[in-house]
Amino acid sequence: MTEQLRLMAVHAHPDDESSKGAATMAKYVDEGVDVLVATCTGGERGSILNPKLQGDTYVEEHIHEVRKKEMDEAREILGVQQSWLGFVDSGLPEGDPLPPLPEGCFALQDVDEAAGALVKLIRSFRPQVITTYDENGGYPHPDHIMTHKISMVAFEHAADTEKYPEAEFGPAWEPQKLYYNQGFNRARTEALHKAMLDRGLESPYGEWLERWEKMGIPERSLTTHVPCAEYFEIRDKALIAHATQIDPDGGWFRVPMEIQKAAWPTEEYELAKSRVETSLPEDDLFAGIRDN
């Protein structure tokens, strides 16, 4: 293919890019693909999840700046480009009944207007492939669900200069494929769980699988398995860069790397939209594009 391949990954918060599809992005960067992470919010309302930083007054009072620096470090590790869409974190409402979302937050924006910021970035970067979250957000965080909504609108209308005029949003561009990140899937979890037990090790996934069973969560369609095991270390290094969100001694890293690579050496996606012909299952997000 004579034209440069470009991948855009749309995420809700800084750290999402490192926990969802990071090894895939590192693989494509290594192959010469241009990769851009679009981060919808600054993560301003995110909790400090790393117990080693809880109670740190500076971090608590400057969480926006701290998370921006973490994103800078993760971006360098992955070798990707990254742009902020500039929306404000909605937070994760808790309680019964749930409290209202804070005024002005990302999840309360008009979907078409908010999608305009992503349309402008798509038209500037010109990706053939976009990854985002499914209609449930991967998990039901308001910002993840809103990320899905604006991604769908932007994918459909980035080439529509009547809806998003060229004078304001730049020349039209039509991306070819859109995928949902599905890295947290039952098949992968079961494979890692079994691999740990087979080696006489304690698995961190027993309770996960029990919850899945009790809640009756339906399985998503895994259309695309991208082989990227050799980039798992880069993924983990990028994830650890988000120190406020990730405890390096926590559950993310309880499965030894050699077991991960042997039991499940891919990252998974669900093909949601395609304007090119492709044959499922795939092992490449650019299947059907490279040869056109």
* Annotated binding-site ranges: 13, 16, 144
Annotated binding site for Zn(2+): 13, 16, 144
> Do 276 and 177 meet the contact criterion of CB atoms below 8 Å apart?
yes
Nearest to 43 by CA among 134, 133, 151, 141: 141
Secondary structure of residue 124 in the 3-state scheme: helix
CA-to-CA separations, 53 to 14, 48, 167, in angstroms, rounded? 17, 7, 46
Secondary structure of residue 74 in the 3-state scheme: helix
- Backbone angle region of 55, left / alpha / beta, with phi > 0 → left and psi within -120 to 50 → alpha: left
CA distance 239 to 43: 15
